[in-house]
Amino acid sequence: MGKLGICSWILGISDINKLMEKVKSLGLDGVQLSGDCRQYDAKEVRDAADLFNLEIFAIDPFNCEPPEPQQANIETAVAFYKDVIDFAVQVKAPWVSLQGLPKWTINCNTANDCWEMLVHCCKTLDAYAQLKKVKIAYECVNRYESSMIHTAEKGMELIKAVGHRNFGLVLDSFHMHIEEPDPIEALRKAKGLLFSYHISDSNRSGIGRGQVDFVKHHAVLEEIGFEGPIMIEVVIPELVPTHTPKTALERERLDEEIRRSIRVWQNLKEKKHI
């Protein structure tokens, strides 16, 4: 199975050098840079990653949206994500995540109009990404955080509509627990399309704090021969689902929860080979 990384937003660190130093101190291989990449200088990001010998696995502007509701349209969406793809090229990240695109569909009149706009944007961005030698991915996110593409099945329908192998899926144990009738079967069906898997229990905490069966998740990832990066995306209980640490004690507790989840995941792999 692949390398271990972290979704950067959970750490609540904006300074890029401090962020990379923290990721390295946690014993991880790299980072999914989550949030608004416009706050960073691409060279500084690449230099910081190189300094700490870390990979930048992906760029994920998950919380970005049009500056004004009236600017939510195809043109602004495509322009924004083209800039994100360009940023990914500059920092040498292999793919960009597009699940924020539904925020640009708010002016569509019907669900079908939203779908058609999403497909059109993804096709346009896929073609641009191919030229830039970057891949694109879509994370299936639960209904409380996104208006579209909640399940692996719907994600695969989108990929089929776009029609290119440059486009893959990201599946997250937290979101799957909410949306998937059978998370194990969802992972199995995503074979060949899965770019990354995110670790987060049913309550967004670390492994074993909720109801996700990580033993089965790990086993099916082994079964399908998944070799992509595994991302840690956990939050301490009093801050779930999306708040980041503000005090030294909260940061210390989050660090331990991350380290504990890493140990559990690695132990699953080691036991597999005993």
Tens digits of residue pLDDT in 76-118 = 999 999 999 999 999 999 999 999 999 999 999 999 999 999 9
Residue 272 clears pLDDT 60, i.e. is over it: no
Please give the average per-residue pLDDT across 7-29, as a whole number: 97
CA distance 195 to 57: 10
Can you list the alpha helix ranges (DSSP code H) found in the chain?
Answer: 16-25, 42-51, 74-91, 111-132, 152-162, 173-179, 183-189, 214-223, 248-272
Does residue 220 contact residue 213 with C-beta atoms inside 8 Å?
no
Q: Which CATH number fits domain 4-272: 3.20.20.150, 2.60.120.680, 3.40.190.10, 3.80.30.20?
A: 3.20.20.150
> What pLDDT digit, counting tens, does each position of 135-144 carry?
999 999 999 9
Residues 164-216 pLDDT 10s: 889 999 999 999 999 999 999 999 999 999 999 999 999 999 999 999 999 99
pLDDT in the model for residue 2: 84
Residue 271: the pLDDT is: 63
Tens of pLDDT, residues 47-71 = 999 999 999 999 999 889 998 999 9
Instruction: With a cut of 50, say whether residue 266 has pLDDT above it.
Output: yes
Annotated domain spans of the chain: 4-272
Instruction: Output the pLDDT for position 165.
Output: 84
**With a threshold of 0.75, does the pTM exceed it?**
yes
Output DSSP code: residue 166. T
Angle formed at CA 147 by CA 145 and CA 148, multiple of 5 degrees: 110
85 or 273, higher pLDDT: 85
Quick one: CA dihedral 122, 99, 56, 198, positive or negative? negative
Q: Is the pLDDT of residue 274 over 60?
A: no
The pLDDT score that the predictor gives to residue 134 is: 97
